[in-house]
Amino acid sequence: MKNTLKQVFHSGKFLFGFCIFVVIIATCIIYPIFVTADPLQMIGQGNFFKPGTYVSIEESTLSKSYTLQLPKEFSKLEAVLDIDTRSEIQQFLIKQAGIAESEIDVTDAEALVEQWKANYDPDTKYKGLTTAKRKALKRLNNEINAALKDSGVIIAEKDEEGALAQSKVIKDTDYVNINDVTKKTFILGTDNFGRDVLTELIAATKSSLKIGLLAGTIATAIGLILGLLAGYMGGLADNIIIFITNLFTVIPSFVILILISYSVGDNARGIAMVGIIIGVTSWPWTTRSVRSQVISLRNRDHVNLSKLSGHSMFRIIFTDILPYIASYVVMAFILQISSGILAEAQLSMIGLGPATTKTATLGLMMQWAMTYSAHLNGSWWAYFPVVILIALISFSLNLMNTGLDQVFNPQLRD
Amino acid sequence: MKGYKKYYGQKLFWYFLTLIFAVILNFILPRLMPGNPVSALASKAVSGMTDSTAIQKVINDYATRFGINEPMYKQFFMWLGNALRGDFGVSFSQYPRPVSDIIAKAVWWTVCLQLPAIIVGWILGNILGAIAAYIKGVFDKAILPIFLFIGNVPAFGMATVLLFLFAIKLRIAPSSGGYGYDLIPSASWTFIKSIISHYQLPFWSIVLITIGGQAIGMRSMSIYELNADYVKYSRFLGIKDRKIVGYVFRNAMLPQITGLALSLGTMMGGALVAEMVFSYPGLGMTLLTAVNGQDYPLLSACTLIITIMVLVANLAVELLYGVIDPRVKANQMD
């Protein structure tokens, strides 16, 4: 036993997969210790806030300000000059001021404004333009002039009569220390309900792992028992079991999964129920492979010797057969966990996942992101992390499986 | 030839039996649902009515129309008879469209998308796996882990990744649907072009997933075969490497074909969910609307048609296997 474990952990593939898996599980355990907030708390009022740090605007305007000379990312000029405005200015410069198109660079806002100021005169009545257009140009000129001033923003408050009274002027060199104000960092933004995606993701991973574990345990148990019975007893029992197994291997388990989930009804479909349903639909291939392994073991000498010694069937199965297929069963179990997690995700995306609002699962997160078309409006943070996590979990489990396979089947080693 | 007849006869019989079982499951499972769907439908129809005799009449009418007062076996044969004539009833959510009409429209989208995608993915995956096993070295060390990872990305995940990259960021492919929403299906050139451009993303997401899974399997099978005694013996005899490799990959192929038959159902399930991501007008979308609209005749017809598709594909693979595998041929000679 000790040697086998040592050998297993010497396999690079197994170790790599094992490390990823352990990191995922450890995150699921450790993260909630530090972030105790309810993962399903709806913080944001609105759909899909971008990842980043959110700072209270009110507190920022009221708290002590510092004067810093820094170039700004947010330029008022850039904000005024959107693509349509720029092309309008370009049109004006070409048609009215007679500047060649090659001399105008619409991507350089400051140069464009300089050309505008040099050529546009608000008092001139330009020919060939409608009155509406002339007025629009005048408004544009005012906007540009306003954007060029360093006036900052005025904060005003309503007094008792409802008149606005200036209370504070915010200059464009005013800064606030971020530690002085209330802030919240959403590393992965928020989802369609305004929930923190990162916190929710970790809670979801935890419940998805639970589903996978439950489904894997049930599927492996059923598969193992049926496989042992069929393989060891042979005869009629074998015929019946292999008949049923063959039926369920050919009928897609996906279909049975849908049918059962649908017939269970929304009220009964919790996390555990989904795990059980996935478990009872995914045992057939485990049964098949356990059976074929047992058949090859059945007539070995040590088994025959046990039979001659009059040992009971259970004893023979437990001491003479199980140890030989143990490694195989472990590998099957690992694969069942990973396919269970995937099955939950797919089921949820059709709308037949856990019908609960109390917990999140990876599939449900995916489902809500799709329902609110996160994939079409570019809110990648709502579903990419989920996809990556599902892929990582099943990648790590499959790596472990391949590693084990190479340890126990030396022919596969490179 | 006589032996083949027996082999094919057995296979056909076995698949027929499975089909019957699947049909029975398809009939029974939704009827186990707490609160049967017919009474739910009837109660929806009588909501707002106050006259109790009228309510009773409506409910009775529904009950006789759907035959829920009859014993289960009679209901089954009634349902089966209708299903054989292609009559799956009327859809609840798209009333008064008959279910068979909806399914008939959707099924070709799915078949034309998934069949080529799975075949192309399978072939490419096998080639890649075989090359990785034969060449080893950098190719094996670098490319295979990538495909191992891709093979573990769920199909719907790959769909969202491709959608984000090519439709949202690069804007070189349409994001959803089977054809442009401004077009009416016709045999015109613009329509065909629109179908082809909408086809790309769903197609490649299924292909990529299939490649990943198949390459891994083919690689380990090939390594297994390359180390077999007959290969060493052939090398010792001085047979050309190319000829040996041909035999090795043919032998490694066989389990891959069986593997394809076994995993077809799972693959299709995954691909259906990927279809949903693209709002492709196939069975995946139909399934989704059926579940969301509590449309149980549509759902049951969907699952039945999916089962039949998988069964037919499986049967085709197994029949093909009989031709390819010399051992089957040899067995039948006895």
> Scanning the structure block, which residue is given the tokens 């994001």?
B175
pLDDT score recorded for residue A227: 92
3 state DSSP class of A190:
strand
Q: Is the pLDDT of residue B43 over 80?
A: no
One-character DSSP codes across B137-172: HHIIIIIHHHHHHHHHS-HHHHHHHHIIIIIIIS--
pLDDT score recorded for residue B68: 67
Residues of B within 8 A of A394 (CB-CB) are 152, 154
Could you tell me if B164 lies within 8 Å of chain A, comparing CB atoms? Answer: yes
> What is the C-alpha to C-alpha distance for residues B118 and B120, in angstroms, rounded to an integer?
6
pLDDT tens for A397-411 read 988 988 888 888 776
Mean per-residue pLDDT, B4-33: 83
pLDDT score recorded for residue B66: 66
- Contacts by A148-152 with C-beta closer than 8 Å and gap 24+? A148/A77, A148/A113
Of A338, A346, A391, the CB nearest to B273: A346
> Scanning the structure block, which residue is given the tokens 């190719």?
B139
> What is the C-alpha to C-alpha distance for residues B258 and B310, in angstroms, rounded to an integer?
14
Residues of A within 8 A of B266 (CB-CB) are 252-254, 339
> Scanning the structure block, which residue is given the tokens 């005899």?
B237
Which residues of chain A are under the pLDDT cut of 70?
Answer: 72-76, 149-151, 411-414
Handedness of CA A165, A169, A170, A171 (dihedral sign): positive
pLDDT tens for B261-279 read 878 888 888 889 988 988 8
Which tokens is B157 given? Answer: 């995940």
Which tokens is B183 given? Answer: 């077009």
Mean per-residue pLDDT, B194-198: 87
Asked if A207 and A356 touch (Cβ cutoff 8 Å), the reply is no
Residues of B within 8 A of A376 (CB-CB) are 163, 168, 175-176
Residues 6+ apart with CB under 8 A from A370: A349, A383, B276, B277
pLDDT score recorded for residue B324: 78
> What is the C-alpha to C-alpha distance for residues A19 and A165, in angstroms, rounded to an integer?
62
Asked if A220 and A286 touch (Cβ cutoff 8 Å), the reply is yes
**Could B154 and A345 be called an inter-chain contact, meaning their C-beta atoms sit closer than 8 Å?**
yes
Which tokens is B261 given? Answer: 């038959």
Residues of A within 8 A of B217 (CB-CB) are none
* ipTM value > 0.90: no
> What is the C-alpha to C-alpha distance for residues B192 and B186, in angstroms, rounded to an integer?
8
Nearest C-alpha in A relative to B140: A414
Residues of A within 8 A of B148 (CB-CB) are 395, 398-399, 402
Which tokens is A356 given? Answer: 């609960």
Q: Is the pLDDT of residue B67 over 70?
A: no
> What is the C-alpha to C-alpha distance for residues B253 and B39, in angstroms, rounded to an integer?
53
Strand segments (E) across A132-215: 153-158, 164-170, 174-175, 183-186
Exposure b/e, B79-116, CB count within 10 A at least 16 = b: beeebeeeebbbbbbbeeebbbebbeebbebbeebbee
Residues of B within 8 A of A414 (CB-CB) are 136, 140, 223
pLDDT tens for A106-127 read 777 777 778 888 788 777 777 7
Measured in degrees and rounded to the nearest 5, phi and psi for residue A305 equal: -60, -45
Could you tell me if B277 lies within 8 Å of chain A, comparing CB atoms? Answer: yes
pLDDT score recorded for residue B245: 83
pLDDT score recorded for residue A208: 94
3 state DSSP class of A205:
helix
Residues of A within 8 A of B262 (CB-CB) are 249, 285
3-state SS string for A226-256: HHHHHHHHCHHHHHHHHHHHHHHHHCCHHHH
**Could A350 and B160 be called an inter-chain contact, meaning their C-beta atoms sit closer than 8 Å?**
no
Could you tell me if B133 lies within 8 Å of chain A, comparing CB atoms? Answer: no
Number of residues that this document lists for chain A: 414
Mean per-residue pLDDT, B107-132: 90
Is the peptide bond preceding residue A323 cis, with omega within 30 degrees of 0?
no
Q: Give CA angle at A281 (A279, A285), nearest 5°.
A: 95
CB < 8 Å from A in window 173-212 of B: 175-176
Q: Is the pLDDT of residue B10 over 90?
A: no
User: In chain B, pLDDT over 70 holds for what percent of residues?
Assistant: 90
Which tokens is A370 given? Answer: 């799709």
pLDDT score recorded for residue A30: 93
Measured in degrees and rounded to the nearest 5, phi and psi for residue B95 equal: -50, 135
Nearest C-alpha in B relative to A411: B224
Residues 6+ apart with CB under 8 A from B35: A265
> What is the C-alpha to C-alpha distance for residues B237 and A187, in angstroms, rounded to an integer?
64
Residues of B within 8 A of A411 (CB-CB) are 223-224, 227
pLDDT score recorded for residue B1: 58
Nearest C-alpha in B relative to A409: B224
B20, B141, B222, B273: best mutation site toward chain A, by most A Cβ within 10 Å?
B273
Strands A66-67 and A174-175: antiparallel
Exposure b/e, A283-315, CB count within 10 A at least 16 = b: bbbbbbbbbebbeebbeeeebeebeeeebeeee
pLDDT tens for B270-318 read 889 988 988 888 899 999 888 888 777 888 888 889 999 888 888 888 8
pLDDT score recorded for residue A204: 93
Mean of per-residue pLDDT scores for chain B? 82
Roughly how many angstroms between the first and final C-alpha of chain B, as a whole number? 12
Could you tell me if B36 lies within 8 Å of chain A, comparing CB atoms? Answer: no
Roughly how many angstroms between the first and final C-alpha of chain A, as a whole number? 24
Residues of B within 8 A of A390 (CB-CB) are 153-154, 157
Of B22, B164, B299, the CB nearest to A262: B299
Q: How far is CA A84 from CA A112, A135, A137, A190, B221, in A?
A: 14, 16, 13, 32, 61
Q: Is the pLDDT of residue B45 over 70?
A: no
Nearest C-alpha in A relative to B217: A402
pLDDT tens for B158-180 read 999 899 888 888 888 887 888 87
Q: Where are the alpha helices (DSSP H) in chain B?
A: 2-31, 37-46, 52-66, 72-84, 99-135, 137-138, 144-152, 155-162, 189-226, 229-237, 241-277, 283-292, 296-324, 326-333
What residues pair up with A174 in beta bridges, in sequence order?
A: A67
**Could A351 and B299 be called an inter-chain contact, meaning their C-beta atoms sit closer than 8 Å?**
no
Of A264, A267, A375, the CB nearest to B160: A375
**Residue B187 banded pLDDT, cuts 50, 70, 90:** confident
How many CB pairs (< 8 A) connect A and B?
A: 153
Which tokens is B262 given? Answer: 């076994």
One-character DSSP codes across B281-318: TTHHHHHHHHHHTT-HHHHHHHHHHHHHHHHHHHHHHH
Could you tell me if B160 lies within 8 Å of chain A, comparing CB atoms? Answer: yes
Handedness of CA A262, A266, A269, A271 (dihedral sign): positive
- pTM equals 0.83
**Could A246 and B14 be called an inter-chain contact, meaning their C-beta atoms sit closer than 8 Å?**
yes
Residue A52 is inside which H or E element, if any? strand A52-55
pLDDT score recorded for residue A205: 94
Q: Is the pLDDT of residue B202 over 70?
A: yes
Residue A200, number of CB atoms within 10 A of its CB: 26
